[in-house]
Amino acid sequence: MTQSMKLIGIGDNGQESLLPQYTQWIEESEVLVGGERVLSFFPNYQGEKIVIKGGLKAVVERLQEEMRQTVVLASGDPLFYGIGGYLSSKMNIEVYPYLSSVQLAFAKMGESWQDAFLVSVHGRSMKGLAQRIDGKAKVALLTDAENSPNQIAKYLLLFGMTEYRAFVAENIQGENENSGWYELEEMVDREFSPLNVVILKKVAEGPRWSLGIEDEEFTQRKPEKGLITKKEIRVLSLYALKLQKNSIVWDVGTCTGSMAIEAAKLAPEGDVFAIEKNEPDLENCYQNQRKFRTDLTAIHGKAPIGLDTFPDPDAIFIGGTGGEMADLIHTCCKRLKEGGRIVLNAATIENLYRANEAFAEAGFQTSINHAQISRSKPILGMNRFVPLNPVYIITAQRKEDTNE
């Protein structure tokens, strides 16, 4: 190809959104590329039209061999969740953006958007959205037919996120343009155009939790309370995991879900996968997820069976082994990504020994903290200390991944 192609952004009002220079480039071109909707804006085009359907790979391969003057059309700003990034990485292409749908939606709303949190659920799962947006003042969502404003409202209500109101902008600059404010409950049963942007604005304060959520805040099995990683041990274990905001985390033996929930808050751009063999405990985990606004994957099963359904993790917490310690540790060590960490809590000397031995056999190096925690308790106008069960916190890494 002897000259660069041009990628031009276009609005839903078609040719009216184009600068005269852009219109001239299109008229002078020999090939016009784009989706069916944007190509329909040019019914009298004299050259060849190439419709983009499905994936871009085949189109790119064809364009790389194209010698004629070519213009590619895309909606809005092609570099904002559009095809521009992919095309510019594969070929020499000049980009001329139009206003993004989010810009136009905020203009309709009449508010600034430099402080907005932008997220796309267009062609993507909403899984994990709760922890990503919780607490954000403004959230702009790019939607699709499946992840519609109705489904977004249902999702937010499931996690009790009623401090948000929604502004929905439909068919921006199109013939049936419409925009307005809605309560989440209103959105559930209302029909919206497939072409829309949803902006969430926080209009009240929602609940907030800092690291180390109080044990009593979690729904737990009754009358057998206590099957939870205690707050102090939880914080130490989370520290040992060294989570990043996009970490993939496993919680093996999640029980109430306390570790998984706090991990999801520390890694909101990642994913958390939990497994629990006891169904009543798993139900408590589901309830706690909704309360603490963490949308993670929790399944019923006795590890290591079931772990094959999870993606390879950056970090693994093992709170319970269910009597399968050797096989479980072997599986976890095999699946852990390079540079990852495994943290195991052991309450007995025997399990400490077995775990340390299993990690050594897998070629992992361990460091161990023995945590003995006591909490103050009032008694007769004074205070005494009540000890928690001592716990061994074992942190394991591949020997080649450590600096020791």
Q: Looking at the structure, do residues 273 and 191 belong to the same domain, yes or no? A: no
> What's residue 403's pLDDT?
61
Does the pLDDT at position 246 exceed 70? yes
How many helices (H) does the chain have, and how many strands (E)?
13, 19
> What's residue 2's pLDDT?
43
Does the pLDDT at position 322 exceed 80? no
372: phi then psi, degrees, rounded to nearest 5: -120, 105
pLDDT tens per residue, range 126-152? 999 999 999 999 999 999 999 999 999
- Mean pLDDT computed over 351-361: 95
> What's residue 58's pLDDT?
87
Supply the mean pLDDT for the chain. Answer: 93
Residue 199: partners with Cβ closer than 8 Å, 6 or more residues away: 105, 106, 109, 116, 138, 139, 140, 141, 166, 167, 168, 169
- Output the six-digit token pair for 207: 């609940």
Are the beta carbons of 160 and 290 closer than 8 angstroms?
A: yes
394: phi then psi, degrees, rounded to nearest 5: -100, 125
Q: Is the peptide bond before 149 cis (omega within 30 degrees of 0)?
A: no
Neighbours of 257 (CB within 10 A): 31
Where residue 324 falls among pLDDT bands split at 50, 70, 90? confident
pLDDT tens per residue, range 86-132? 999 998 899 999 999 999 999 999 999 999 999 999 999 999 999 99
**Alpha carbon distances (Å) from 277 to 4, 33, 321:** 59, 53, 10
Q: Looking at the structure, do residues 190 and 228 belong to the same domain, yes or no? A: no
Does the pLDDT at position 291 exceed 60? yes
d(Cα 151, Cα 154) in Å, to the nearest integer? 5
- Mean pLDDT computed over 330-354: 96
Q: Looking at the structure, do residues 237 and 107 belong to the same domain, yes or no? A: no
Does the pLDDT at position 215 exceed 60? yes
Percent of the chain with pLDDT over 70: 97
Length of the chain: 404
d(Cα 384, Cα 382) in Å, to the nearest integer? 7
In a domain, 231, yes or no: yes
d(Cα 265, Cα 343) in Å, to the nearest integer? 18
Where residue 225 falls among pLDDT bands split at 50, 70, 90? low
User: Where among 67, 99, 131 does a domain terminate?
Assistant: 99
Query: Residue 14 belongs to what domain range?
Result: 5-99
Are the beta carbons of 325 and 267 closer than 8 angstroms?
A: no
Q: Looking at the structure, do residues 172 and 263 belong to the same domain, yes or no? A: no
d(Cα 35, Cα 53) in Å, to the nearest integer? 7
pTM for the full model?
A: 0.89
Cα 213–Cα 205–Cα 148 angle in degrees, nearest 5:
95
Which carries the bigger pLDDT value, residue 271 or residue 53?
A: 271
Amino acid identity for residue 272 in this structure: V
206: phi then psi, degrees, rounded to nearest 5: -95, 175
pLDDT tens per residue, range 47-61? 999 999 878 888 888
Task: Return the CATH number at 394.
Answer: 3.40.50.150
Q: Looking at the structure, do residues 116 and 141 belong to the same domain, yes or no? A: yes
Does the pLDDT at position 404 exceed 70? no
Nearest to 258 by CA among 239, 240, 281, 234: 234
Q: Looking at the structure, do residues 49 and 112 belong to the same domain, yes or no? A: no
> What's residue 1's pLDDT?
40
> What's residue 224's pLDDT?
63
What sign does the CA torsion over 238, 242, 243, 249 have? negative
Q: Looking at the structure, do residues 171 and 301 belong to the same domain, yes or no? A: no
Task: Return the CATH number at 192.
Answer: 3.30.950.10
Nearest to 62 by CA among 126, 8, 146, 1: 1
> Residue 353, CB half-sphere, CA atoms under 13 Å: how many?
3
d(Cα 206, Cα 171) in Å, to the nearest integer? 31
Q: Looking at the structure, do residues 59 and 23 belong to the same domain, yes or no? A: yes
Does the pLDDT at position 83 exceed 80? yes
In a domain, 207, yes or no: no
- Output the six-digit token pair for 380: 């007769």
Cα torsion at 304, 310, 314, 318 (round to 10°)?
-30
State how many domains the chain has: 3
Does the pLDDT at position 261 exceed 50? yes
Give the largest Cα separation in the chain, rounded: 93
d(Cα 95, Cα 85) in Å, to the nearest integer? 10
> What's residue 400's pLDDT?
80
Does the pLDDT at position 398 exceed 90? yes
The DSSP element (H or E) to which 59 belongs, if any, is helix 57-64
